[in-house]
Chains A and B, each alone.
Chain A
């Protein structure tokens, strides 16, 4: 993989310079090595997939990226600077948003409120204005509400705008979670199994939304997914992990042909 400023995928999509670089990351929980000496990068504007069998360390990798876990060894570089050890809320400020494998919505709130939470960091009006909720505070609230409604329109969840999210079906909850992450206007969006447990139709919808997000907002996306056909269709580049080790890194067709990947998925004769 060259370090050139831009890179053209076999599909003819141009992706930008390196945005995030993981250098020799090792993450251990006591004696268990979750991630072992893994290096890969994520480029501006690309859709990067992380695949691998269960327990390969994919989710741990996302947790390292958004600061929930701190690796024992290795460095994380974000936009040309080495990232110091940061708390998750500080990393959110850098423009990294994510969705969760098991939906982590705010169950006591409605859809629109959930999406509004994504604007939290962008709302600046002081406590006093919040108390009065007039003038600048109200203007701010309305302005962010408008942006949230655009995202709600974009993801086609207008009809459940005022529903409490706890009562929504699974597929819609996943979509609300995506809306909430989008409301943060992230530079890098991490999706942890966005299509887990969905039927074919819902998967198609979700794939379309992911491509649209990438296309319209120019958001860089890193996603974990088990459905290989989805990964092969969506991703510009794929990194494959197994037992915390890197098996392959490259375009979908390269990874698909890689013998180590095939062995990991199908098993080998010993």
Chain B
């Protein structure tokens, strides 16, 4: 990262308003995209078995990145805290399942993207209390949503087509001759679908948060009274944040079941998962899209790395390491919250800033 913006002048506001105004950042993003599209699908992660790299690391990380971006829109950008993430993912997943059974011939990717709208509506509905209550009280309200929806996933048989096991099982679907979902879908196809949806949604999130709507969210977050006096309608701002956030979360829920798990029950959408996603947001960095990538990748891969290291270096068995990683993550969250409340995204910025002026300290 030994680069500076020196000599790069923005001469129009269009140039200044770009997502990555600095040339080297653009090149960096291009390299990431080339790696993600041309290297990983063919070679996986060097040093790891291909199927493991895809199924246990890449695909879930990409899916949870969508979840994290969605939750970050709500928590990081709008300042409304939610513990219903797991359940909203469930809404997306069950919606997608119902859609596939009603429209078996429709392109599954369209159905996944459409199922997000269902969770957006449900999310906006459960966002209504946010108009009156804030902080801890809102947490309780979203927690109520979590438990209510979990109850629905168990008790409302219609949602899982009265399957005696109570689980939703993903049917096999093809897109343009490629098997995309179901047991015989190749990891590479699923990876590419998830990656493309993530790129698409991340661009949308970036655009929204930098424009008028994103500003209205941040206004509500930073000073809701001033926001209202400037002309932001709290109803519109808060509910749109809940809806957009739940859309992302719903799509990621559908992807999680259809592209990764293959079958799911209510346990995949419980409150523990809600906490996990909140950790990803907080650790990654509140109010940062880049941070969402980092948070999701870190929280997901850290226990895996720790488990592998523990096994190969110290011969500790996997169960012990699992508990160790839980403790380690807990400690890490506390440390990061104290040292840098803006998470890994801010740490990354600090590192960049330090390198920018390197070798001088100031």
B121 contact set on A, CB distance < 8 A: none
Partner pick for A104 among B16, B204, B223, CB 8 A cutoff: B223
Report B286-338 residues with CB < 8 Å from chain A CB: 287
Partner pick for A109 among B222, B229, B231, B233, CB 8 A cutoff: B222
B214-249 toward A: CB 8 Å interface, digit per residue (1/0)? 011011011101111111111000001000000000
B102 within 8 A of A: no
Give the size of the chain B interface in residues (CB under 8 angstroms). 31
A105 contact set on B, CB distance < 8 A: 222-223, 226
B101 contact set on A, CB distance < 8 A: none
Interface contact B223-A184, CB-CB below 8 Å: no
Complex: A3 Cα to B145 Cα, angstroms:
59
B287 contact set on A, CB distance < 8 A: 108
Interface contact B230-A138, CB-CB below 8 Å: no
B213 within 8 A of A: yes
Instruction: Closest B residue to A166 by CB, please name it.
Output: B222
Interface residue range, chain A: 35 or more
Complex: A130 Cα to B218 Cα, angstroms:
15
Interface contact B223-A127, CB-CB below 8 Å: no
B163 within 8 A of A: no
Knowing A123-B212, A130-B207, A141-B17 are in contact, say whether A108-B222 is a contact too (CB < 8 A). Answer: yes
Partner pick for A88 among B12, B213, B228, B240, CB 8 A cutoff: B228
Partner pick for A113 among B13, B215, B221, B234, CB 8 A cutoff: B215
Instruction: Closest A residue to B76 by CB, please name it.
Output: A108
A145 within 8 A of B: yes
Complex: A87 Cα to B13 Cα, angstroms:
34
A133 contact set on B, CB distance < 8 A: 207, 210-211
A141 contact set on B, CB distance < 8 A: 13, 17, 211-212
A1 within 8 A of B: no
Partner pick for B13 among A88, A104, A146, CB 8 A cutoff: A146
A99-113 toward B: CB 8 Å interface, digit per residue (1/0)? 010001111110001
Knowing A92-B229, A107-B223 are in contact, say whether A120-B207 is a contact too (CB < 8 A). Answer: no
B208 within 8 A of A: yes
B105 within 8 A of A: no
CB<8 Å pairs between A and B, sample of 22:
A88-B229, A89-B231, A89-B232, A92-B229, A92-B231, A98-B229, A105-B222, A105-B226, A106-B221, A109-B215, A109-B222, A116-B215, A117-B219, A117-B227, A130-B213, A131-B208, A132-B207, A133-B207, A137-B211, A141-B17, A141-B211, A146-B13
Closest 4 A-B residue pairs measured CB to CB? A92-B231, A106-B222, A133-B207, A104-B226
